[in-house]
């Protein structure tokens, strides 16, 4: 078993994994699908337990992760590559319409590693393609941020936007306070509650401790 397999096996029970999956279905259907067109090629970077790839609708779905267990959690229609995010050499230049990652960049060892990933993602995106990230916001989760053993590099919505611009992206959208810090928090823990939460942006400013950022590769 790899280190990342062992970490996720002890972090999430099967019941927690299934609960997360139900929440991600709502998140994709009620919010994230707005960024994806029916004929898009979508790249799920550091796909983890595969929630985004399972529930987003796109013509081609590609998932990447170092954890080999991710493959068994993905439907057959999703292409899986066991690879690091800084080496997407199985893809040529300009093949992806939208890249996505959630709670990933903070796991990289330093900002230099983040820069390498951003450049590689920019390479595989089509001109006008977008990279959507959801990240814990150290500005609003500075206490909880370090409660996870594999968190290394803190980012706020402002520092992440700066990193994207330095990597050659235009930053189209930033939501500084979007989702709660983790699915282990109390709000929202049920799909029905998440539907309500997503429909009421004022609640985001109270409970949101993760940011959403959309970077675009200039045409």
Task: Give the C-alpha separation, 130 to 18, whole Å.
Answer: 29
Helix 191-199 and helix 14-30: axis angle, to 10°? 30
Place of tokens 């200039």: 218
In contact, 178 and 212? CB cutoff 8 Å: yes
Per-residue pLDDT of the chain (219 residues; tens, 9 = 90+): 445 555 555 555 676 777 789 999 999 999 999 999 999 999 999 999 999 999 999 999 999 999 998 999 999 999 999 999 999 999 999 999 999 999 999 999 999 999 999 999 999 999 999 999 999 999 999 988 888 888 999 999 999 999 999 999 999 999 999 999 864 555 567 899 999 999 999 999 999 999 999 999 999
Domain ranges of the chain: 3-216
Q: Does domain 3-216 have CATH number 3.40.50.150?
A: yes
Query: What is the 3-class SS of the chain, one letter each residue?
Result: CCHHHHHHHHHCCHHHHHHHHHHHHHHHHHCHHHHCCCCCEEEEECCCCCHHHHHCCCCEEEEEECCCCHHHHCCCCEEEEECCCCCCCCCCCCCEEEEEEECCHHHCCCHHHHHHHHHHHHHHEEEEEEEEEEEECCCCCCCHHHHCCCCCCCCCHHHHHHHHHHCCCEEEEEECCCCCCCCCCCCCCCHHHHHHHHHCHHHHHHHCCEEEEEEECCC
């Amino acid at each position: 078993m790899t280190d990342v397999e062992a970490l996720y096996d002890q972090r999430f029970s099967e019941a927690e994994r299934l609960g997360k999956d139900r929440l991600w279905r709502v998140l994709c259907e009620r919010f994230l699908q707005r960024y994806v067109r029916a004929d898009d090629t979508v790249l799920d970077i550091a796909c983890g337990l595969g929630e985004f790839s399972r529930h987003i609708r796109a013509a081609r779905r590609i998932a990447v992760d170092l954890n080999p267990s991710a493959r068994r959690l993905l439907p057959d229609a999703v292409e899986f590559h066991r690879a690091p995010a800084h080496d997407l050499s199985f893809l040529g230049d300009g093949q992806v319409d939208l890249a996505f990652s959630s709670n990933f960049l903070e796991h990289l060892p330093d900002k230099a590693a983040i820069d390498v990933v951003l450049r590689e993602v920019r390479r595989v995106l089509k001109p006008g393609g977008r990279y959507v990230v959801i990240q814990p916001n150290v500005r609003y989760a500075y206490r909880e941020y370090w409660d996870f053993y594999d968190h290394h590099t803190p980012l706020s919505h402002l520092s992440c936007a700066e990193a994207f611009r330095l990597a050659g992206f235009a930053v189209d959208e930033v939501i500084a306070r979007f989702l709660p810090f983790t699915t282990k928090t109390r709000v929202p823990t049920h799909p029905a509650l998440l539907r309500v939460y997503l429909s009421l942006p004022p609640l985001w400013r109270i409970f949101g401790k993760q940011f959403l950022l959309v970077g675009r590769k200039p045409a």
